[in-house]
Amino acid sequence: MTSTTGTEPDSREPRPVDLRHLARTGRGQKPAWAYQSADLSLNLISCTAGQGVGTHVNAEVDVMVVVIDGAGSVDIDGQRYPVQPGQAVIIPKGCQRATRCDGDHFSYLTCHRRRAGLMPTVGQHHGRGETHDDTASTPTTHRPDGGSTAP
């Protein structure tokens, strides 16, 4: 199993992951946790007030966004959708998308088929000049207990 900042041995054994705990302990981190296998890419994004992922286009895969905690919105092709914990949004490939924290925190999980070259086609800006790709593929593993393993 691999994710966005290290590696750990591949495991076929299912393991529960406490996403709410990881989101709360990783507030403001993008990603707060991630998992990538040969087939799947998961990224837990945990934002604080005013943070989010700026407008970009994912032309290769459909993406499901599952809201874990807090208040936020997902913009798809210019249409804003307020979302709450327990809701999911499916974003078809080719759509412009962005997310925004509308309260003091907002955490969500992105889920999609793993693909090569995970950079969006339009830069993502987060205020203060930061740029971030919520589907970045830099190798890293974040354990379910909140720790991480670096290469």
> What domain count does the chain have?
1
pLDDT of 146 strictly over 50: no
Strand partners, 89: 65
Who wins on pLDDT, 113 or 145? 113
Could you tell me the pTM of the whole model? 0.70
Please report, for the domain that includes residue 106, its CATH number: 2.60.120.10
**pLDDT in the model for residue 116:** 66
- Separation between Cα atoms, residue 101 and residue 112, nearest integer Å: 21
Helices within the chain (DSSP H only):
19-25
Q: Other CB atoms closer than 10 Å to residue 110's CB: what's the count? A: 22
Which region holds residue 5: left if phi is over 0, alpha if psi is between -120 and 50, else beta? Answer: alpha
Q: Does a structural domain hold residue 6?
A: no
Predicted confidence (pLDDT) at residue 5 exceeds the cutoff of 90: no
User: How far, CA to CA in Å, does 30 sit from each of 13, 18, 37, 50, 106?
Assistant: 26, 17, 19, 14, 11
Identify the domain containing residue 63 by its residue range: 19-141
pLDDT tens for 65-77 read 999 999 999 999 9
| Residue 119 within any structural domain of the chain | yes
Residue 14 falls inside a structural domain = no
